[in-house]
């Protein structure tokens, strides 16, 4: 009798299941929500384009191929006033990435040192670090950027610039440093440096596996730096020193040679690094405090030195607590770099504002800003999430 059931009834029953089944009903609601959002976004875009046409304003991204007609004083790639708007935006994006990477690097070092010293038993050290943390993190970062900028502008003029070893010069125009000169064979020195880093990682991984099996350790903290330093140096001398340096020299009214780091860049880097480091130090302090006192007492009972206890026992466990909020601070530092426009550092926002004023493409330039910072933030989050999973302790 079951085989003679009407097929239309079976089909109707399946369609009803799409609504009565909780899982399918949830998928339907999600699909309708996404469809509604797509329709809303399409309506807004269509309405905006229509309004721009009515107002006689051009739209589209073709403007990035137009001539920029303005200069950029600090750049990592070739650029001139005859370059395109697109290249100008790329230069600004690279300037933002550089200050973000250097700021993350410096703030991490300062923050970890300050966080560890904040827990020091030395009253003076812990109180001084506490004053630094409370003062820096309660003053707006914009004021700190302007503060460092004003201090750097108060340095002597170029003709009276301060000299460090007749190779580094400090003035109100920035820091003049020796610039590298790459000759034939310099590529192999760079390749040796990369190979040394790869070998260090391989040795480190092999050392960990060897330790799990035999319990014996290798001084990786000595082997890796030695390999990274000596291998490129050996190749450097074997190839006849293919990398040289052009040292700045004083002229009558200016400095010649080398390359200049602008005071705007230095001020932005110092302010972002010290400001973010104050928050990182509190994150580090909280992470270390989250490790049970029994771990420290056990290490002390085994006769381990305090620095080994911190490096081998406390910090690996504290990192599980430190990494998630640390990621947020890295993202904040990257986004705070947009405040560079206040002191004239030509990052992507500053250059984008110039492009916006000249081309009149407001929505397009703003969308480039949003896409740039979104991509940078997602890349940072992806890396930190990968690292967080890598360091997670696996129970056995």
Residue 240 φ/ψ region, left for φ over 0, alpha for ψ in the -120 to 50 degree band, beta for the rest: left
Average the pLDDT over 145-170 and give the result: 87
DSSP 8-state secondary structure symbol assigned to residue 163? E
Q: Which residue has the higher pLDDT, 100 or 5?
A: 100
Check residue 215 and give its pLDDT.
Answer: 75
Whether 281 and 116 have beta carbons less than 8 Å apart is answered as no
Q: Where are the beta strands (DSSP E) in the chain?
A: 162-164, 168-171, 174-177, 179-182, 243-246, 249-250, 255-256, 259-261
What does the alpha-carbon distance between residue 111 and residue 287 come to, in Å, rounded to a whole number? 12
Please give the mean pLDDT across all residues of the chain: 85
Tell the residue number behind the tokens 């690097």, with chain if given.
105
What does the alpha-carbon distance between residue 290 and residue 23 come to, in Å, rounded to a whole number? 40
Per-residue confidence band for 18, with pLDDT thresholds at 50, 70 and 90: low
* SS3 (DSSP) at 395: coil
Q: Please tell me the CATH code under which domain 85-178+247-391 is placed.
A: 1.10.3720.10
Check residue 6 and give its pLDDT.
Answer: 53
Per-residue confidence band for 139, with pLDDT thresholds at 50, 70 and 90: very high
User: What's the half-sphere exposure (Cβ side, CA atoms, 13 Å) at 24?
Assistant: 8
Q: Which residue has the higher pLDDT, 81 or 98?
A: 98
Per-residue confidence band for 14, with pLDDT thresholds at 50, 70 and 90: low
What sign for the dihedral angle of Cα 133, 305, 295, 204? positive
Whether 253 and 232 have beta carbons less than 8 Å apart is answered as no
- Model confidence at 169: pLDDT above 60: yes
- Model confidence at 217: pLDDT above 80: no
pLDDT tens, 107-125?
999 999 999 999 888 889 9
DSSP 8-state secondary structure symbol assigned to residue 156? P
Check residue 159 and give its pLDDT.
Answer: 81
- Model confidence at 10: pLDDT above 60: no
- Joined together, the tokens standing for residue 265 give 């860049």
- Model confidence at 172: pLDDT above 80: yes
Dihedral (Cα; 212, 218, 220, 226), 10-degree rounding? -150
Q: Which of 338, 320, 343, 314 is nearest to 393 (CA)?
A: 320
Per-residue confidence band for 16, with pLDDT thresholds at 50, 70 and 90: low
Whether 294 and 340 have beta carbons less than 8 Å apart is answered as no
Q: Which residue has the higher pLDDT, 383 or 241?
A: 383
- Model confidence at 13: pLDDT above 50: no
- Joined together, the tokens standing for residue 87 give 């290249």
Tell the residue number behind the tokens 């998630």, with chain if given.
324
- Model confidence at 200: pLDDT above 70: yes
Average the pLDDT over 331-354 and give the result: 91
Check residue 9 and give its pLDDT.
Answer: 47
What does the alpha-carbon distance between residue 381 and residue 109 come to, in Å, rounded to a whole number? 19
Whether 348 and 92 have beta carbons less than 8 Å apart is answered as yes
Q: Which of 350, 273, 354, 361 is nearest to 96 (CA)?
A: 350
pLDDT tens, 236-295?
888 888 888 888 888 777 788 888 888 999 999 999 999 999 999 999 999 888 888 888
Question: How many residues are recorded in the chain?
Answer: 396
Whether 103 and 337 have beta carbons less than 8 Å apart is answered as yes
Check residue 2 and give its pLDDT.
Answer: 47
What does the alpha-carbon distance between residue 134 and residue 279 come to, in Å, rounded to a whole number? 9
Q: What percent of the chain has pLDDT over 70?
A: 92
DSSP string covering 199-236: HHHHHHHHHHHHHHHH-----HHHHHHHHHHHHHHHHH
In the chain, domain spans? 11-54, 85-178+247-391
Average the pLDDT over 204-213 and give the result: 83
Residue 176 φ/ψ region, left for φ over 0, alpha for ψ in the -120 to 50 degree band, beta for the rest: beta
Highest mean pLDDT among 35-44, 202-211, 271-280, 292-301: 271-280
Check residue 181 and give its pLDDT.
Answer: 84
Whether 323 and 387 have beta carbons less than 8 Å apart is answered as yes
Check residue 376 and give its pLDDT.
Answer: 93
How does 89-103 read in b/e, with b if 16+ C-beta sit within 10 Å? bbbbbebbbbbbeeb
Dihedral (Cα; 204, 205, 208, 209), 10-degree rounding? -140
Average the pLDDT over 328-354 and give the result: 91
Per-residue confidence band for 147, with pLDDT thresholds at 50, 70 and 90: very high
Q: Which residue has the higher pLDDT, 87 or 312?
A: 87
């Amino acid at each position: 009798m079951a085989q003679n059931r009407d097929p239309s009834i079976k089909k109707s029953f399946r369609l009803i299941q799409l609504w009565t089944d909780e899982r399918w009903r949830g998928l339907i609601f999600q699909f309708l929500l996404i469809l509604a959002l797509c329709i809303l976004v399409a309506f807004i875009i269509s309405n905006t384009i229509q309004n721009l046409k009515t107002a006689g304003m051009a739209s589209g991204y073709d403007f990035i191929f137009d001539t920029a007609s303005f200069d950029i004083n600090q750049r990592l790639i070739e650029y001139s006033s005859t370059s395109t708007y697109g290249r100008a935006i790329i230069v600004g994006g690279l300037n933002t990435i550089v200050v973000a990477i250097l700021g993350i690097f410096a703030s991490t070092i300062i923050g970890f040192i300050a966080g560890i010293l904040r827990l020091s038993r030395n009253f003076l050290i812990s109180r001084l670090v506490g004053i630094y943390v409370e003062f820096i993190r309660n003053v707006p970062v914009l004021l700190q950027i302007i503060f460092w900028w004003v201090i750097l502008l108060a340095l002597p003029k170029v003709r009276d610039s301060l000299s460090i070893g007749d190779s580094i010069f400090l003035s109100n125009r920035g820091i003049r440093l020796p610039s590298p000169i790459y000759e034939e064979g310099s590529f192999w020195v760079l390749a040796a440096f990369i190979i040394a880093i790869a070998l260090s990682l391989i040795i480190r991984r092999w050392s960990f596996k060897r330790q799990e099996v035999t319990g014996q350790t290798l001084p990786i903290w000595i082997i890796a730096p030695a390999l990274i330093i000596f291998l490129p140096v050996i190749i450097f001398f074997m190839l006849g020193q293919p990398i040289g340096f052009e040292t700045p020299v004083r002229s009558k009214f200016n400095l010649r040679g080398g390359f200049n780091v602008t005071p705007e860049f230095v001020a932005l880097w110092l302010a972002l690094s010290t400001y973010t480091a104050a928050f990182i130090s509190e994150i580090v302090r909280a992470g270390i405090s989250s490790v049970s006192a029994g771990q420290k007492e056990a290490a002390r009972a085994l006769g381990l030195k305090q620095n080994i206890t911190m490096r081998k026992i406390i910090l690996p466990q504290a990192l599980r607590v430190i990494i998630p909020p640390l990621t947020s601070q890295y993202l904040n530092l990257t986004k705070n770099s947009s405040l560079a426009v206040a002191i004239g550092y030509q990052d992507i926002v500053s250059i984008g504002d110039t492009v916006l004023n000249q081309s009149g493409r407001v929505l397009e330039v703003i969308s480039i800003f949003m896409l740039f910072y979104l991509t940078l933030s997602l890349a940072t989050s992806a890396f930190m999430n990968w690292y967080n999973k890598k360091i997670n302790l696996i129970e056995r």
